[in-house]
Amino acid sequence: MPQLETVFYASQLFWLAVIFGLLYCALSKIVLPKAAALLDKRRALTEGRRWEAARMAEEAARAEEEAREKRLKIREEAGEAARTRYDEKLKDKAARMRRVKESLEARIAEKEASLQKMEEAAKPAIEEAAAEAAAQIVMRLTGEALDQKAARDAARQAALL
């Protein structure tokens, strides 16, 4: 094997040093600066995105808090509107009940007055009928005729008992 012969060691070491030097120079002057620039650009982009993500998370948290407050405010307003509407309906119902009650009381008073008038109007006829009935009863029982005045007095006394 020619590479293991000691005669060729010097030239092999020379070319090893030359190739290593060229590779070292090429890597340190061309490839590594480009790779470092790429890594720096990536790091800066990542930092920018992290900062932007943190800012967006903060905005999202703020927006969520605002939305929660709006929901609470809307719920309170809706509850207040429902209570107001309920109170208005209760007032309307109470007013309707009052009107119905007044109407019924007026109708009852009217009917009672009408009934009173009918009683007053019917009293003489009832007294007359009672007097006639009393006269007929006396006539059948005793056989004597009873005058109208005595029959009326007897009917009134019977009504008072």
Lowest mean pLDDT among 19-28, 39-48, 135-144: 135-144
pTM value is: 0.41
> Are the CB atoms for 131 and 151 separated by under 8 Å?
yes
Name the residue type at position 55.
R
Q: Which residue has the higher pLDDT, 10 or 82?
A: 82
Residue 107: pLDDT over 60: yes
> Are the CB atoms for 139 and 145 separated by under 8 Å?
yes
Provide the greatest CA pair distance for the chain: 187
Average pLDDT estimate for 79-87: 95
* Segment (H or E) for 66: helix 32-142
152: number of Cβ within 10 Å: 18
> Are the CB atoms for 128 and 151 separated by under 8 Å?
no
**Cα–Cα distance between 90 and 97 in angstroms, integer?**
10
Residue 161: pLDDT over 60: no
Alpha-carbon dihedral of residues 83, 84, 87, 91, nearest 10 degrees? -170
